[in-house]
Structure 1
């Protein structure tokens, strides 16, 4: 499946944002049946766990293929999608809205993730956002990243910091999509793809203590082991609420 990832900075009070963001992401349900996402989730960054986060909200939308995504983008840009688009502009700072369109690769915990998605509800996850090392092409970066699943450099991630499920989201290359960038809706194939991040990963946990174990371990081990893979990276702790369960693949 294709995943459309929205990353935003809030434009309302902190105590109002979670509910407003949930409603904003849920506005995609107003798309016609053939354009509506297969799944929706609204994530709120936990300020108490992530000091000075780069984003306050993470929205996830799943689509069956490129054609499905294009139908959604067409609706979003149409008069019928205007209300949803304006809602986003009220909840999030317009200049802060970033989009990454990616293919989802479940690297570990597929059964756990499938069950959690079927159940819906709320989940906790640790997300990493990164830009690849300057000397790597996207293809080289994706290959090296996939081969390092479960490790930081050559150092294995201990079980206590591995979480229940691990997802790599590989942003689409130019040839994979032809959606439009206007108002934060994708990428334009007439130019080179320039996503804000080259990598977005998600690691799910049963509780906050497990997430904190991962955060502490990465703080001690990441910088000296990953400079041949990424040049910049950011981490956010997220509380994610399922609005429309993702069907099993």
Structure 2
């Protein structure tokens, strides 16, 4: 699957942001059936878990392949798709927001994720955003990242910090310019206590163990809601 990941900063009053952000992400479902994403989620970053987060919200749209994504991007640029841009403008600060288009790789927990998408509603996840270490090509970085699933450097991540499902998002190659991040990963949890346990473990074990993989990294805790398709429909 191809995933369009929006990483945004709030551009309106806090009380107005959540409904404005949900409306902006949900507008993608108004695209024609062969154009609209196969799934849309809207996530809110939990400030109380990740103080001073790099972003306030994360939105995601899934596509079957790159051609599907191109059809959607063409629709966004059309008069009919302009409503999405208008709603985004009401919700986010554009200059402090970015997009990453990536190929999703589920590394663990496929059955759990299948239930999550089937049931819809809300879930919790821990996300890491990173730029690759100097000297690594994109292909070298992806190979090294895949080979370390379940590890921080050579240190195994304990079960308490592993979550129910883990996926890596590998940004697509670009002809011009760079994505804001070279890597976006997601680890899903059933409850907030387990998510906090992962954060605490990483705080004790990350420093110095990933210097040959990432140059910089940031973490956010997210409460994610499935907006499309609606399992109740």
TM-score by length of 1: 0.90
Q: Is the contact between residue 39 and residue 246 of structure 1 (CA under 8 Å) also seen in structure 2?
A: no
The whole-number CA distance in structure 2 between the counterparts of 1:14 and 1:149 is 36
Structure 1 residue 9: Cα displacement: 0.3
Counterpart of 1:109 in structure 2 is 109
Counterpart of 1:84 in structure 2 is 84
| 1:225 equivalent in alignment to 2:209 | yes
Structure 1 residue 35: Cα displacement: 0.8
The whole-number CA distance in structure 2 between the counterparts of 1:116 and 1:62 is 15
Q: How has the CA–CA distance of structure 1 residues 139 and 246 changed in structure 2, closer, same or farther, with 3 Å as cutoff? A: farther
Counterpart of 1:93 in structure 2 is 93
Q: How has the CA–CA distance of structure 1 residues 153 and 245 changed in structure 2, closer, same or farther, with 3 Å as cutoff? A: farther
Structure 1 residue 94: Cα displacement: 1.6
Gaps of 5+ in 1: 175-188
SS where residue 134 of structure 1 aligns? coil
Structure 1 residue 246: Cα displacement: 9.8
**Once superposed, what is the RMSD of the aligned Cα atoms?**
1.3
Q: Is the contact between residue 40 and residue 246 of structure 1 (CA under 8 Å) also seen in structure 2?
A: no
SS where residue 149 of structure 1 aligns? coil
Gaps of 5+ in 2: none
Structure 1 residue 245: Cα displacement: 4.2
Q: Is the contact between residue 161 and residue 210 of structure 1 (CA under 8 Å) also seen in structure 2?
A: yes
Counterpart of 1:168 in structure 2 is 168
Structure 1 residue 16: Cα displacement: 2.5
Structure 1 stretches of 4+ moved >3 Å: none
| 1:34 equivalent in alignment to 2:18 | no
Q: Is the contact between residue 7 and residue 99 of structure 2 (CA under 8 Å) also seen in structure 1?
A: yes
- Between the two proteins, the alignment pairs up a number of residues equal to 231
Q: Is the contact between residue 24 and residue 88 of structure 1 (CA under 8 Å) also seen in structure 2?
A: yes
The whole-number CA distance in structure 1 between the counterparts of 2:89 and 2:183 is 25
Q: Is the contact between residue 20 and residue 90 of structure 2 (CA under 8 Å) also seen in structure 1?
A: no
The whole-number CA distance in structure 2 between the counterparts of 1:148 and 1:95 is 34
Counterpart of 1:151 in structure 2 is 151
Name whichever of 82-91 and 38-47 sits farther off.
82-91
Structure 1 residue 111: Cα displacement: 0.5
